[in-house]
């Protein structure tokens, strides 16, 4: 009796779930997961991501789906908190039974989800947070689209050095004290060393800081006239506003989130024609076509929420769909991953550079386009087309 009880307990302890064929695929639909920031101050990012996935799914479904199967998006909110991202993905995998993952929230959030993604061999396309830690080391089922912040700031400092501040330039950087800020400073550092630039001052600040008067005074005291602004949205705008109060003559490099309408609205009054480098198109024929397409599937309110993150999640899901389509009727996660690896020069209609995952890091779309803000009109003009740095 004791042996039977022990065997029962051991079975209960060690037995794993009996897995059928890959979950999330039926004869009529494919369920794709989306973990996103739908609540809190950064929710406009998550909503834009969801809008992009929605457009892609609607477009694919309108064209007959993937080998006759419709795409269904299952979305979970994580509120931008990594431990919640883990629980949200756990629910999507274990309870909703998703086949693959498209929306992956913020940097720390995707990192918190990676162990679960690896364990379930979940085909995943990361578009919004191309953090180096996502693809180093390479996770077999994870594919990344996008340039690093490091590349973005290197490209901008290079542009400023070659075209804006050719003489008497003193460079400075102000950045957050987290992994994002470290990447910003990494790009700055690379450019400073490579072009032997005068490194005036490097400052760190805590995420959420709103008053930058002391920091900007330090920048002025150091004679900085070419600034790498590592603030995001309100933070970036406050830095520029303080600089304007001191009448500082600045060439400014910015984070790519500064191309979104809410960011522009906040930064515009300071009047700095800041530049930024992004791996997604901002305001050209590609985005116009996209918005026209979106109007077919979305409400006017949703169309108003479109920004760079919508373009990216759209591209991510389209790439994923291409790989799933190549698997035919016998759709499995292993096949999808294998087909994603074969993706080469996938045309995104100009939203990003063509996507190719046939490289060791399973990383693509690293080419950056440099833009400059017209502070009066609140629009951007392209300075340099998509280029790899």
Partner 1 sequence: MRTGHFKESYGELVALTDSSVTRAWVGLLVVALLLLPLVAGNYGLSLATAAMITVVGAVGLNLLTGMTGLISVGQSGFLAIGAYTNALLLADYKWPLLASLPASGIVAGVLSLLVGVPSLRLKGLYLAITTLAFAFIVNHVILYAEGLTHGPNGVFLPNASLLGIDVSRDRPLYFLVLAVTILVVLAVLNIKRTRIGRAFLAIRDHDIAARVMGVDLVRYKLLAFVISSFLVGIAGALLSLQIRFVNVDVFGLILSIEALAVIILGGLGSTAGAILGAVFLSMLPELIRIAFSTFGSTQSVTYTTYVYEIRGIAYGVVIVVFLRFKPDGLIGLWRDVRRYWTNWPLAY
Among 23, 29, 39, 273, binds partner 1 (CB under 8 A): 39
Contact 281, 304 (CB under 8 A): no
Q: Which stretch binds partner 1 (CB under 8 A): 11-19, 242-250, 267-275, 306-314?
A: 11-19
Q: For Cα atoms 131, 134, 138, give the angle at the middle one, nearest 5 degrees.
A: 135
Among 177, 199, 284, 325, binds partner 1 (CB under 8 A): 177
Strand 170-176 and strand 226-229: the pairing is parallel
Q: Is residue 138 at the binding interface for partner 1, with CB under 8 A as the rule?
A: no
The pair of structure tokens assigned to 85 is: 């991202």
Cα separation, 352 vs 311, in Å, equals 9
Longest CA–CA separation in the chain, Å? 88
The torsion angles phi and psi of 8, rounded to 5 degrees, stand at -60, -45
Among 44, 86, 256, 274, binds partner 1 (CB under 8 A): 86
Q: Is residue 84 at the binding interface for partner 1, with CB under 8 A as the rule?
A: yes
The pair of structure tokens assigned to 245 is: 């109060």
The pair of structure tokens assigned to 259 is: 């191309």
Q: Which stretch binds partner 1 (CB under 8 A): 32-40, 57-65, 150-158, 333-341?
A: 32-40
Among 65, 79, 262, 350, binds partner 1 (CB under 8 A): 79
Q: Which is nearer to partner 1, 185 or 339 (CB)?
A: 185
257 C-beta neighbours (distance < 10 Å), count: 19
Q: What is the DSSP letter of 257?
A: G
Q: Is residue 91 at the binding interface for partner 1, with CB under 8 A as the rule?
A: yes
Q: Which is nearer to partner 1, 178 or 284 (CB)?
A: 178
Cα separation, 288 vs 308, in Å, equals 12
Q: x-or-dash pattern for partner 1, window 327-366, by CB under 8 A?
A: ----------------------------------------
Residues 117-136 that bind partner 1 (CB under 8 A): 119, 133
Cα separation, 61 vs 202, in Å, equals 50
In the complex, which residues of this chain contact partner 1 (CB under 8 A)? 12-17, 38-40, 74-79, 81-84, 86-87, 90-91, 93-95, 108, 111-112, 114-116, 119, 133, 177-182
């Amino acid at each position: 009796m004791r042996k039977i009880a022990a065997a029962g307990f051991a079975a209960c302890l060690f037995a794993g779930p009996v897995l059928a064929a890959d979950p999330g695929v039926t004869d009529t639909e494919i369920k794709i997961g989306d973990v996103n920031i739908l609540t809190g101050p950064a929710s406009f990012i998550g909503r834009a991501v969801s809008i992009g996935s929605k457009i892609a799914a609607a477009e694919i479904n309108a064209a007959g789906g993937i080998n006759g199967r419709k795409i269904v998006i299952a979305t979970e909110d994580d509120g931008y908190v990594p431990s919640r991202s883990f629980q949200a993905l756990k629910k999507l995998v274990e309870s909703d039974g998703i086949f693959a993952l498209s929306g992956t929230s913020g940097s720390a959030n995707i990192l918190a989800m990676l162990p679960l993604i690896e364990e379930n061999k979940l085909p995943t396309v990361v578009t919004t947070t191309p953090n180096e830690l996502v693809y180093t080391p390479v996770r077999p089922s994870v594919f990344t689209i996008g340039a690093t912040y490091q590349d973005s700031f290197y490209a901008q400092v290079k542009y400023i050095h070659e075209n804006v501040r050719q003489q008497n330039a003193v460079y400075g950087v102000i950045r957050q004290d987290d992994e994002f800020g470290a990447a910003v400073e990494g790009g700055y550092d690379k450019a400073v060393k490579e072009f032997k630039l005068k490194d005036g001052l490097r400052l760190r600040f805590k995420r959420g800081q709103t008053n930058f008067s002391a920091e900007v005074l330090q920048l002025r005291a150091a004679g900085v006239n070419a600034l790498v602004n590592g603030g995001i949205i309100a933070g970036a705008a406050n830095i520029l506003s303080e600089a304007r109060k001191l009448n500082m003559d600045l060439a400014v490099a910015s984070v790519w989130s500064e191309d979104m309408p809410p960011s522009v609205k906040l930064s515009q009054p300071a009047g700095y024609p800041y530049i930024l480098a992004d791996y997604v198109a901002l305001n050209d024929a590609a985005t116009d076509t996209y918005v026209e397409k979106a109007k077919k599937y979305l409400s006017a309110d949703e169309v108003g929420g479109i920004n760079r993150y919508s373009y990216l999640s759209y591209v991510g899901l389209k790439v994923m769909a291409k790989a799933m389509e190549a698997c035919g009727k016998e759709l499995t996660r292993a096949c999808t991953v294998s087909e994603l690896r074969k993706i080469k020069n996938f045309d995104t209609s100009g939203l990003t550079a063509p996507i190719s995952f046939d490289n060791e890091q399973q990383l693509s779309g690293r080419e950056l386009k440099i833009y400059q803000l017209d502070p009066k009109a609140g629009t951007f003009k392209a300075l340099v087309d998509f280029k790899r740095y």
